[in-house]
Amino acid sequence: MHRKKEPYLTENICMHRSALPIWLFAFLFVHISAISQSSYNDEIKDAASSFIQTLDPLQKRSALLQFSDTARVQWNNLPIGLRARAGISIGNMTEAQRRLVHRILAATLSSQGYLKATGIMHLDNLLNLQTDSNFARKRINDQVKKMMTDLKFGQSNYFFALFGKPSDTSWSYKLEGHHLSVNISFTGDKVSVTPWFIGTDPAEMDITEYAGWRVLGKEEDLGLRLIKMLSAAQQKKATMNIDPPRDIITGAESGKRLVDNWGIKANELDKKQKEVLLVIIREYVFNMEYEKAMIEYDKIIKAGVDNIYFGWIGPHEEFKDHYFILNGPTFLIEFDNAGGPRRDGNHIHTIWREKGNEYGEDVLKKHYMQEKH
C-alpha cells in the first residue's frame, strides 16, 4: 500500500531551514507533521476497517474487544504454550485476513520495523525446525523435544486483537505472540506506539540453512560498539558489577519499574560516543513509520540528549550474558541477552517504552479531562 507522503516537502524545508525565519520554519514543520500524522492514522484505520469487514460472527467474538478490556494494557512475550492471548490467531484466519493484518502492520511500521516483526514471527517457525534438527543430531533427547513442542512455537500462534473500533475516538490494536508485542493506541489524531517488545531465540541461528541469521543483530552490535568506545574510567562509571538479569528489568510479569538513573550520563560522552548513542535510539524509534518516528524522536531530542543515561551489566562480548539500558527523561530502552535456559548469550529480549504514555495513557488522560469541561 502506498500513499502520497509529505516527507519530501519536510526534508526540503529542513534543508533550507537557515533561509527561513524561525517562526515560519516552526509553523511549516508543525503543519506538515500534523498532515502526515493524519495520513498515517487514516491508512491504519482503513486497513483495520477492511479487516473487520472480513470477520464472521465467531471470529468477531475473539478479535473485537472492548476498549476497556484489561487485555489492552497487558503484554507478554512468552509462547502460547505458557500464556494464552486475547484476539484471533493467525492460524485461525483466512489467507485474505492474514494479508490485511500485514497491511495494518506495514502501514504502522517502517520497512525496517516490519521486517523485524515478521522476522521474529518467522523465527518461531524456525524454532520448530531447529528442534527437529537438534533431535536428529542427538543434541536433545525425547523429553526436551516434547517440552519444546508443547510450547507451541510457530507463526500461526500469534494473535491479533482490536480494542474498540477504528471509527471510535479511542481504539487500539495488538499483535502479540512469542517474543513480539506490538501495541498501537489511538485517541483522536494522537497515536501511542509503546510498549514495543521484540526478542529472538536464538539471537543467532547456528544450524540449518538459516545459520548466521540475526534478526536483532544491529541492536546488540550497537550496544557493544558504544561500551567498547568508552574509556576505562567511563566504562567503570557505566557498568554495574552484578550478574546480568535473566530478563529485561521491566519485564511483562516482573512488576518492576526503573525509578533511579544509573550508568554514565550522556553529558560525559564525547561527540562520537553521543553519535552512537543516538544511532541506538534511532534503531528502536525508526521501527515505526517515518512520520511517526520523527515525532517520537523529536520528543527525545527536545528532552535533552545530555540527560540520557547509558548503563551496562556483564562482559563486553557476544555469546556472553550482557545487558544494557538507555534511560532518558521521556523514554526507556532495555536490551538483555542473558535469557533462556542455556545462559549462552544467545537469547535476546528488548523493549522501547515511552514514559507516561504507554497504551496512550497520557493522551487518554488529557482527552478525558477535556471531555469534562
Mean pLDDT over 147-170 rounds to: 97
* Number of residues that this document lists for the chain: 373
Task: Express each pLDDT in 86-97 by its tens digit.
Answer: 999 999 999 999
Q: Give the residue-averaged pLDDT of 103-125.
A: 98
* pLDDT tens digit sequence for 53-69: 999 999 999 999 999 99
pLDDT at 234 over 90: yes
* 344 — pLDDT class (breaks 50, 70, 90): confident
pLDDT at position 254, please? 87
CA distance 175 to 97: 14
What pLDDT score does 371 carry?
A: 56
pTM, to two decimals: 0.88
In this prediction, residue 100 has a pLDDT band, given cuts at 50, 70 and 90, of very high
Evaluate if residue 20 carries a pLDDT over 90: no
Question: In the predicted model, is pLDDT for residue 340 greater than 80?
Answer: no
- Percentage of the chain lying above the pLDDT 90 cut: 81
In this predicted model, which residue has the larger pLDDT, 270 or 22?
Answer: 270
Comparing 170-174, 284-288, 365-369, which segment has the lowest mean pLDDT?
A: 365-369
E strand intervals along the chain: 64-65, 88-89, 159-163, 170-177, 180-187, 190-192, 196-200, 264-265, 309-313, 322-327, 331-337, 348-354
Cis peptide before 329 (omega within 30 of 0): no
| Nine cell digits for residue 320 | 556472553
What are the boundaries of each domain within the chain?
Answer: 7-194+361-372, 217-356
**What confidence score (pLDDT) does residue 298 get?**
97
